[in-house]
């Protein structure tokens, strides 16, 4: 603007000179007149206005208010004044105005022909400078010259011969320059501008100073110029302070060019010709505090300064120093820049550069992790202006402890080019020497815009690594970036090697450690290959992290690995969140042991927050010699070999294995993870003996021995099945129902079926059946409640050969009592009685869960007891609550029609037994044979009472009283009699038998042992007393002692005598003459000893003389003649 102002000042000088020339004609006339005071030259005003208008562009008029001339007192010079010079445009608007123009002429100069004033002064002039919409800047009152010159006014002034005239100096005081920008509508002014031009010995010297005001901002300018006439060079030194460079750029080039909001101060040294050709220049400038807008980001300026020189002959810029400290960046640049021009010097074609920098630091929190410092930087290349193509032939820098060397090119097509687009073209080839860790890698990697998904993975999951051998290549055509920001995959390639990798491939899972491998980042994909790594205790043979596409957003990413090692360790990894492979099916890695290999793929959408259900899985795992503890119901699978097919929504296990290292099985287990896909399935087939039933909660050990072939299908979750169908083949196994004495030998055809449903409120056995040729047939259905207690049962056919033929139903009543109803033609109760009395009913396990109680209503046509004792028309009604037997009523008839009645009543006792079972019959011998196996007793009418112990003290005590019974074929008694030399009685016992008129005694049964207390039996032939114990079952021991009195009726007569009878007889059942005996040893073959000396001993001393060592031992009968263990009494 100051240049335009200077041009205007020159114009005013020219106009003034023209006006003065017009007045010269009248100079002689006025000369003598001017000596007397100011003389008006208004007569020549029109001529002067016309002369001025000829110097103005077409359409402008000049108006002068008045013209005066006055001679000085010494007559040496003349003073000419023009008042109110106003130049009007076509619309009569003022384009320029000068209140007063004052010129001084030397008389001598005029006489010598040197036309023009010596001194020219203009006060308070105002004029405009306008920038048109076409970007041209003009002074409206100045004619456009044909000659192209940067400073046409100066050229005209010098070419016009000012140095050949009388001119000495010119001043423009208190001038006001108004700049109008037609394109933007903005304006700024320079009031109080001072312009001074003076002739000196070498040419001309000029000074311009003033202030510029624009939108409230104020700047100052001071310029000194000197024209050397001999060299034809103008030297200018300009000092500027606080120039609002942003507003100036905005005004000239639009708001987009207003990138800086800060004042600029500095010094410029220029050398140029009058035509405006620059010969040399140097700038030293500083930008004050403000803001710089680059790339849409507004950043605070702390410092920008530069020192640069220009050699126009070579078009070489020498950048001595460029320092900048802007919010987000700081550094220094120096070097050389060469501008190449074509035919038009105003249109540079190419800029080449060779720049250096000790450091450039970039800090952008929105795009970079931290401050990124580039050190020892070098850049050599060129910029083709017309093509907008930057090519850095050699780029060298050090960043994040790495050295980078390479080349890079950028191409930004102009609007209208075929390849125009929002994205530039880039070609790069850069090699990085050194090593990066994840933190320094993230410092280099922009937060947005370049493979965001891969960067997120590095930030969130790559905890440690040594990344090296990095090569970066890019070949991206202009416009290649899609609207969604995606790069073509082949547009970029960054390759690297990595070692000591520690990565969290999925958050929350055990990280991968000690990995090594390589990776490649492409324009729209990323692939990391890992080999020789570890995850916990698992060896990773190979692994892969794959981002097939970054764009479109949220595309799948894949984590693949091949693992080998301990199955427990591998499954422990796969059971971690979010996979929870085993937890989903209620299993634990600790249940597994053995070797396995797994090929697994995990899919995860490429976004920051991923819900567990958005993951996808796929894989194949193989295993060998695998063991699984407590898969279901405590069962153990061993020697398993097979594979697992893992998918996102299901898992299928196919395997050959063994149950408890014994039973071979084949299974196919399909586990579905989502309810909408339907239930899971388990197909299992194989051979088992007594253990495989545990898989489904069935424990057949007491019923099956030997191989059983089975095939089953369970529907539902493992351990929580919905249904079960099972087919079995028992042909090669032996089967038994010991409680009923039923057995099926091996190699007899037998099969079974089972159909079960598992509901929330219980287990429903819809049907079960066992068929064993002609040996057994059982079928029915059962229902169990949620707690596992039987709710109801319907066994329509319970047929076991020679053991049972019944129909059984069960139903739990409103009080919770389970009521059994059994009807049928036959039941063999002998085995149950034998087991109960032999101790088989005792168990070390949990007590029987009686619940609220059990009631039994049985009607059985024929019931077999021990020793083939048969009872007919049996009717049993029994009630037992959770604690005790509460009611018992049993009636039946033996084969002769003799009734048997068994009832239970309460004793009323507060302590001890409170329940008593009383059995009354006229065939007590048959009852004792059926219950205890004592087949030597016949007949006998009497009562047997059993006193039931409390529940915590299992067993019972009792008493027996009988009359008119007969003992036949009692081997143990025969041995006692033989040992006492009573052979006749022994022979009688083996023949017709010995009759007893009366027998009574007490006993107690507990833990398989019967204790006898004071049992006495008397008859006309013999009397006997018994005390001691008899143990039942294998290994049971007998300890009995007592006395035998022959001819009891005669032998005991004195026993009825008071006092003497007690002394001589001793106790009831013994006579005056009686011998004592002792039985001891295993019940199966006890030893019998007698004391003969006790025969004549008074009863009061007889017990003292009972035999301690054998005196005479009755030999035990041969094994084939021995009575069964339970027939010895």
For 82, the 3-state DSSP assignment is: strand
Residue scoring higher pLDDT (705 or 162): 705
Torsion sign over Cα 622, 624, 629, 631: positive
pLDDT for res 873: 95
Decide if 1077 is inside a domain.
Answer: yes
Confidence of residue 606 (pLDDT cuts 50, 70, 90): confident
Residues sharing a CB contact under 8 Å with residue 772, sequence separation 6 or more, in sequence order: 730, 735, 744, 748, 749, 750
For 455, the 3-state DSSP assignment is: helix
What's the residue count for the chain? 1129
What tokens appear for 1057 in the block? 């005598």
Decide if 1027 is inside a domain.
Answer: yes
pLDDT for res 114: 62
Decide if 605 is inside a domain.
Answer: no
- Could you tell me what percent of the chain has a pLDDT over 70? 81
Helix crossing, 2-24 with 152-159: angle to 10°? 30
What tokens appear for 202 in the block? 């070498």
Tell whether the model's pLDDT for residue 1117 goes beyond 80: no
Mean pLDDT along residues 684-693? 70
**Distance from C-alpha of 267 to C-alpha of 254, rounded to nearest angstrom:** 26
Decide if 281 is inside a domain.
Answer: no
Confidence of residue 11 (pLDDT cuts 50, 70, 90): low
Q: Which residue is it, tokens 């089975």? A: 710
HEC string for 541-577:
EEEEEEECCCCCCCCEEEEEEEEEEEHHHHHHHHCCC
Mean pLDDT along residues 500-512? 85
pLDDT for res 151: 47
Q: Where are the alpha helices (DSSP H) in 26-151?
A: 27-34, 45-54, 107-111
pLDDT for res 1099: 46
Q: How big is the CA angle at 32 (ends 28 and 38), to the nearest 5 degrees?
A: 105
Contact by Cβ (8 Å): 1044, 1069 = no
How far apart, in Å, are the Cα atoms of 1109 and each of 613, 1037, 1087?
87, 18, 11
**Most confidently predicted of 701-710, 1010-1019, 1101-1110:** 1010-1019
DSSP state of 585: G
Confidence of residue 499 (pLDDT cuts 50, 70, 90): very high
The pairing of beta strand 329-341 with beta strand 316-326: antiparallel
pLDDT for res 649: 86
For 1100, the 3-state DSSP assignment is: helix
List the domain range (segments joined by +) for residue 1002.
Answer: 968-1127
Mean pLDDT along residues 1013-1038? 87
pLDDT for res 844: 42
Confidence of residue 845 (pLDDT cuts 50, 70, 90): very low
| 432-436, 488-492, 797-801, range with the lowest pLDDT | 488-492
Q: Which residue is it, tokens 């199955």? A: 567
Whether the ω angle into residue 552 lies within 30 degrees of 0, i.e. cis, is: yes
Residues sharing a CB contact under 8 Å with residue 222, sequence separation 6 or more, in sequence order: 207, 208, 209, 238, 239, 240
Backbone angles phi, psi at 57, to 5 degrees: -65, 160
Of 86, 87, 80, 85, nearest in space to 102 by CA: 80
DSSP state of 21: H
Mean pLDDT along residues 211-223? 83
Helix crossing, 2-24 with 45-54: angle to 10°? 140
Torsion sign over Cα 185, 188, 189, 195: negative
**Distance from C-alpha of 943 to C-alpha of 923, rounded to nearest angstrom:** 10
**Distance from C-alpha of 784 to C-alpha of 763, rounded to nearest angstrom:** 5
pLDDT digits over 1039-1087, tens only? 999 888 876 555 555 444 444 444 444 455 444 567 888 999 998 889 9
Confidence of residue 305 (pLDDT cuts 50, 70, 90): very high
Question: What's the number of domains the chain is made of?
Answer: 1
pTM: 0.57
pLDDT for res 943: 92
Of 856, 793, 799, 863, nearest in space to 827 by CA: 863
pLDDT for res 132: 75
Tell whether the model's pLDDT for residue 748 goes beyond 70: yes
pLDDT digits over 317-368, tens only? 899 999 999 887 899 999 999 988 877 766 788 999 999 999 999 887 878 8
Whether the ω angle into residue 267 lies within 30 degrees of 0, i.e. cis, is: no
pLDDT for res 1061: 43
Of 467, 469, 546, 461, nearest in space to 512 by CA: 461
Mean pLDDT along residues 828-848? 60
Mean pLDDT along residues 506-511? 83
pLDDT digits over 925-937, tens only? 888 888 878 888 8
Mean pLDDT along residues 221-241? 88
Mean pLDDT along residues 223-230? 88
Decide if 535 is inside a domain.
Answer: no
Contact by Cβ (8 Å): 42, 30 = no
Decide if 993 is inside a domain.
Answer: yes
Tell whether the model's pLDDT for residue 634 goes beyond 60: yes
pLDDT digits over 30-63, tens only? 555 555 568 888 887 888 888 888 888 888 899 9
Q: How big is the CA angle at 862 (ends 859 and 868), to the nearest 5 degrees?
A: 140
Mean pLDDT of the chain, nearest integer: 80
Of 766, 632, 646, nearest in space to 698 by CA: 632
**Distance from C-alpha of 977 to C-alpha of 966, rounded to nearest angstrom:** 16
Residue scoring higher pLDDT (423 or 3): 423
Q: How big is the CA angle at 580 (ends 575 and 585), to the nearest 5 degrees?
A: 100
**Most confidently predicted of 174-183, 336-345, 411-420, 494-503:** 494-503
What tokens appear for 399 in the block? 């960043």
Decide if 1048 is inside a domain.
Answer: yes
pLDDT for res 131: 74
pLDDT for res 393: 95
Residue scoring higher pLDDT (1123 or 77): 77
**Distance from C-alpha of 915 to C-alpha of 881, rounded to nearest angstrom:** 14
Decide if 1025 is inside a domain.
Answer: yes
What tokens appear for 699 in the block? 């424990």
Residue 634: burial class (beta carbons within 10 Å; 0-12, 13-18, 19+): exposed
**Distance from C-alpha of 1112 to C-alpha of 455, rounded to nearest angstrom:** 106
How far apart, in Å, are the Cα atoms of 594 and each of 387, 567, 571, 623, 626?
69, 5, 11, 8, 4
Confidence of residue 138 (pLDDT cuts 50, 70, 90): confident
- Reported as type and span, the H/E element at residue 246 is helix 245-253
For 591, the 3-state DSSP assignment is: helix
Q: Which residue is it, tokens 């079926």? A: 753
Contact by Cβ (8 Å): 1061, 1070 = no
Q: Where are the alpha helices (DSSP H) in 921-1017?
A: 924-932, 971-979, 983-990
**Distance from C-alpha of 828 to C-alpha of 485, rounded to nearest angstrom:** 89
Tell whether the model's pLDDT for residue 158 goes beyond 60: no
Confidence of residue 635 (pLDDT cuts 50, 70, 90): confident
- Could you tell me what percent of the chain has a pLDDT over 90? 23
Residue 212: burial class (beta carbons within 10 Å; 0-12, 13-18, 19+): buried
Mean pLDDT along residues 153-160? 49
**Distance from C-alpha of 88 to C-alpha of 624, rounded to nearest angstrom:** 108
Residue scoring higher pLDDT (146 or 96): 96
Residues sharing a CB contact under 8 Å with residue 1057, sequence separation 6 or more, in sequence order: none
Mean pLDDT along residues 691-704? 55
**Distance from C-alpha of 502 to C-alpha of 509, rounded to nearest angstrom:** 12
**Distance from C-alpha of 981 to C-alpha of 1048, rounded to nearest angstrom:** 16
Q: Which residue is it, tokens 């960067």? A: 455
Tell whether the model's pLDDT for residue 449 goes beyond 80: no
DSSP state of 612: G
């Amino acid at each position: 603007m100051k240049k335009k102002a200077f041009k205007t000042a020159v114009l005013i000088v020219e106009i003034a000179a023209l006006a003065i020339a017009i007045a010269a004609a009248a100079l002689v006339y006025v000369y003598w007149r001017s000596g007397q005071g100011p003389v008006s030259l208004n007569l020549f005003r029109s001529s002067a206005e016309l002369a001025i208008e000829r110097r103005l562009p077409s359409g402008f008029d000049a108006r002068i208010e008045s013209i005066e001339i006055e001679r000085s007192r010494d007559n040496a010079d003349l003073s000419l004044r023009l008042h109110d010079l106003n130049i009007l445009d076509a619309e009569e608007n003022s384009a320029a105005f000068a209140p007063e123009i004052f010129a001084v002429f030397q008389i001598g100069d005029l006489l010598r022909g040197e036309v023009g004033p010596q001194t020219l002064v203009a006060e308070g002039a105002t004029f405009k400078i306008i920038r048109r919409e076409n970007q041209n800047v003009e002074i409206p009152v100045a004619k456009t010259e044909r000659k192209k010159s940067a400073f046409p006014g100066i050229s005209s002034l010098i070419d016009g011969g000012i140095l050949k005239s009388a001119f000495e100096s010119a001043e423009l005081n208190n001038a006001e320059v108004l700049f109008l920008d037609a394109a933007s509508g903005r304006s700024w002014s320079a009031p109080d501008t001072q312009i001074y031009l003076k002739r000196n010995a070498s040419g001309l010297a000029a000074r311009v100073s003033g202030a510029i005001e624009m939108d409230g901002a104020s700047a100052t300018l001071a310029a000194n110029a000197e024209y050397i006439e001999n060299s034809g060079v103008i030297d200018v030194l300009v000092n500027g302070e606080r120039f609002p460079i942003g507003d100036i750029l905005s005004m000239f080039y639009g708001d987009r060019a207003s990138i800086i909001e800060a004042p600029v101060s500095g010094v410029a040294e220029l050398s140029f010709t009058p035509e405006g050709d620059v010969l040399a220049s140097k700038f030293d400038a500083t930008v004050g505090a403000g803001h710089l807008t680059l790339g849409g980001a507004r950043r605070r300026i702390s410092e920008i300064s530069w020192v640069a020189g220009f050699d126009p002959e070579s078009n070489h810029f020498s950048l001595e120093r460029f320092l900048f400290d802007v919010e987000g960046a700081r550094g220094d640049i120096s070097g050389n820049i060469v501008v190449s021009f074509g035919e038009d010097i105003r249109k540079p074609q190419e800029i080449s550069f060779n720049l250096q920098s000790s450091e450039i630091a970039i800090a952008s929190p929105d795009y970079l992790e931290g401050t990124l410092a580039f050190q020892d930087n070098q850049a050599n290349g060129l910029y083709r202006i017309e093509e907008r193509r930057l090519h850095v032939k050699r780029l060298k820098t050090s960043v994040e402890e790495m050295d980078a060397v390479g080349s890079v090119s950028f191409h930004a097509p102009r609007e209208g080019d075929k390849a125009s687009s929002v994205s530039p073209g880039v070609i790069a080839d850069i090699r990085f020497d050194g090593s990066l860790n994840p933190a320094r890698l993230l410092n280099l990697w922009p937060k947005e815009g370049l493979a965001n998904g891969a960067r997120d993975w590095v930030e969130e999951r790559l905890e440690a690594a040594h990344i090296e051998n990095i090569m970066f290549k890019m070949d991206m055509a202009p416009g290649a970036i899609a609207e969604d920001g995606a790069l073509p995959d082949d547009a970029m390639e960054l390759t690297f090697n990595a070692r000591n990798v520690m990565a969290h491939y999925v958050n929350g899972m055990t990280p991968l450690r000690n990995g090594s491998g390589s990776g490649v980042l492409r324009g729209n994909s990323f692939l990391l290959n890992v080999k020789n790594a570890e995850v916990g205790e698992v060896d990773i043979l190979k692994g892969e992290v794959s981002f097939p596409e970054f764009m479109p957003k949220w595309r799948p990413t894949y984590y693949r690995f091949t693992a080998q090692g301990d199955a427990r360790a591998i499954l422990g990894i796969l059971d971690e969140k979010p996979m929870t492979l085993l937890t989903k099916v209620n299993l634990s890695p600790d249940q597994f042991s053995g070797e396995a290999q797994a090929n697994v793929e995990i899919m995860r959408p490429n976004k920051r927050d991923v819900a567990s259900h958005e993951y996808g899985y796929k894989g194949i795992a193989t295993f060998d010699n695998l063991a699984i503890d407590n898969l279901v119901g405590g069962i153990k699978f061993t020697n398993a070999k097979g594979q697992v097919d893992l998918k996102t929504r299901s898992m299928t296990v196919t395997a050959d294995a063994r149950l408890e290292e014994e039973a071979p099985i084949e299974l196919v287990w399909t586990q579905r993870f989502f309810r909408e896909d339907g239930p899971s399935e388990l197909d299992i087939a194989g051979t088992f003996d007594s253990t495989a039933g545990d898989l489904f909660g069935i424990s057949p050990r007491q019923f099956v021995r030997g191989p059983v072939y089975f095939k089953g299908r369970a529907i539902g979750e493992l351990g929580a099945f919905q249904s079960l169908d099972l087919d079995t083949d028992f042909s090669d196994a032996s089967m038994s129902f010991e409680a009923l004495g039923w057995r099926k030998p091996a190699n007899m055809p037998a099969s079974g079926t089972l159909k079960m449903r598992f509901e929330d409120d219980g287990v429903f056995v819809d049907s079960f059946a066992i068929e064993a040729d002609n040996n057994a047939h059982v079928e029915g259905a059962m229902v169990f409640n949620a707690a596992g207690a039987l709710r109801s049962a319907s066994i329509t056919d319970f047929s076991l050969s020679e053991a049972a033929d019944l129909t059984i139903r069960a139903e739990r009543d409103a009080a919770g009592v389970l009521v059994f109803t059994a009807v049928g033609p036959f039941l063999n109760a002998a085995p149950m009685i034998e087991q109960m009395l032999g101790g088989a009913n005792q168990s070390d396990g949990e007590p029987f869960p009686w619940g609220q109680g059990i009631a039994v209503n049985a009607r059985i046509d024929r019931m077999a007891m021990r020793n083939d004792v048969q009872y007919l028309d049996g009717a049993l009604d029994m009630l037992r609550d959770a604690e005790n037997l509460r009611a018992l009523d049993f009636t039946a008839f033996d084969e002769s029609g003799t009734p048997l009645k068994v009832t239970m009543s309460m004793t009323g006792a507060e302590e001890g037994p409170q329940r008593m079972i009383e059995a009354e019959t006229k065939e007590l011998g048959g009852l004792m044979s059926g219950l205890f196996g004592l087949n030597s007793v016949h007949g006998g009418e009497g009562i047997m009472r059993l006193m039931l112990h409390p529940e915590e003290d299992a067993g019972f005590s009792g008493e027996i009283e009988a009359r008119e019974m007969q003992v036949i074929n009692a081997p143990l008694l025969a041995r006692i009699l033989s040992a006492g030399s009573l052979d006749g009685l022994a022979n009688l016992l083996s023949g017709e038998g010995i009759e007893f008129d009366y027998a009574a005694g007490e006993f107690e049964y507990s833990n398989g042992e019967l204790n006898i207390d004071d049992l006495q039996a008397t008859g006309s032939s013999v009397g006997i007393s018994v005390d001691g114990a008899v143990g039942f079952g294998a290994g049971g021991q007998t300890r009995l002692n007592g006395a035998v009195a022959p001819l009891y009726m005669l032998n005991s007569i004195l026993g009825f005598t008071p006092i003497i009878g007690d002394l001589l007889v001793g106790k009831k059942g013994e006579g005056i003459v009686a011998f004592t005996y002792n039985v001891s040893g295993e019940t199966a073959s006890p030893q019998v000893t007698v004391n003969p000396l006790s025969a004549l001993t008074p009863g009061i001393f007889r017990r003292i003389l009972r035999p301690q060592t054998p005196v005479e031992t009755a030999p035990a009968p041969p094994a084939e003649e021995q009575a069964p263990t339970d027939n010895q009494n």
